[in-house]
Amino acid sequence: MDSAPAAGSDRRRIQGKAISIGIATGAYALSFGAISVSTGLTVWQTQTLSLFMFTGASQFAFVGIIGAGGGLVAAVLTAWLLGARNAMYAVSLGPRLDLRGWRRFVGAQSTIDESTAMALAHPEPVSSSRYAFWATAAWIYVLWNLGTLVGALGAAAIGDPNDLGLDAATAAALLALLWPRLVDRSMWATALAAAVVAVVLTPVLQPGLPVLAAALVAVAAATLTGRREVR
């Protein structure tokens, strides 16, 4: 008889966490909107990235490469590589979410670091895991897009966003996204190796290509780590 109140209490806790994560993520979106406009994208191009790409690291990398004068191909490939981890999340969450038909497309769009982490943090019962996933994804999607719009409109009104130092903000934003993920030696080693590759190649390659090479280093490291774990 106590199961219903317990379930309601659990959902309220999950909802509170989801809102907090959404607000924090929305704050990053403010900077993304401003940075994107400062690189030359329009407000609506910026908003389209948040609506359909919807993965912070990929979006920051994309506009950073475009802003540095890199080619569109390098920007797209780098964004794709950084977002590829979401596909691995989707594979692991597939049995838990058990989506069919058009819901798979919505689930794929909603599978990001935060929604995955919340789903895995509430494994039992499976209904709580699903609720955590969807609540987190919904709050982040709404606040990320709202933050993007506010940041983009604000930057467009400034005239020259670089006057505020936004040309240097992309690197800071990416570092802020990366830092919480450096949780063990292998992560630190991968990050340092990728950074060394990017620094060495920057003087000799066109803008965007050093970042792409660094992303390939990270993918290779993740693949090798996975093989070792299987063995």
Phi then psi dihedrals of residue 158, to 5 deg: -70, -35
The low-confidence residues of the chain, meaning pLDDT below 70, are 1-8, 158-184, 198, 201-212, 215, 218-231
The rounded distance, in Å, linking the Cα atoms of 98 and 127 is 11
Structural tokens at position 48: 């389209």
User: 221 with 186: CB under 8 angstroms?
Assistant: yes
The DSSP symbol for 44 reads H
Q: Kindly report the pTM of this predicted structure.
A: 0.74
The rounded distance, in Å, linking the Cα atoms of 79 and 52 is 13
Phi then psi dihedrals of residue 21, to 5 deg: -65, -40
**Amino acid 24: pLDDT:** 86
Q: Where are the chain's structural domains? A: 3-166, 182-231
User: 164 with 61: CB under 8 angstroms?
Assistant: no
The DSSP symbol for 168 reads G
User: 101 with 119: CB under 8 angstroms?
Assistant: no
**Amino acid 136: pLDDT:** 94
**Four-residue CA torsion sign, 129, 123, 118, 174:** negative
**Amino acid 178: pLDDT:** 61
**Amino acid 221: pLDDT:** 65
**Amino acid 58: pLDDT:** 86
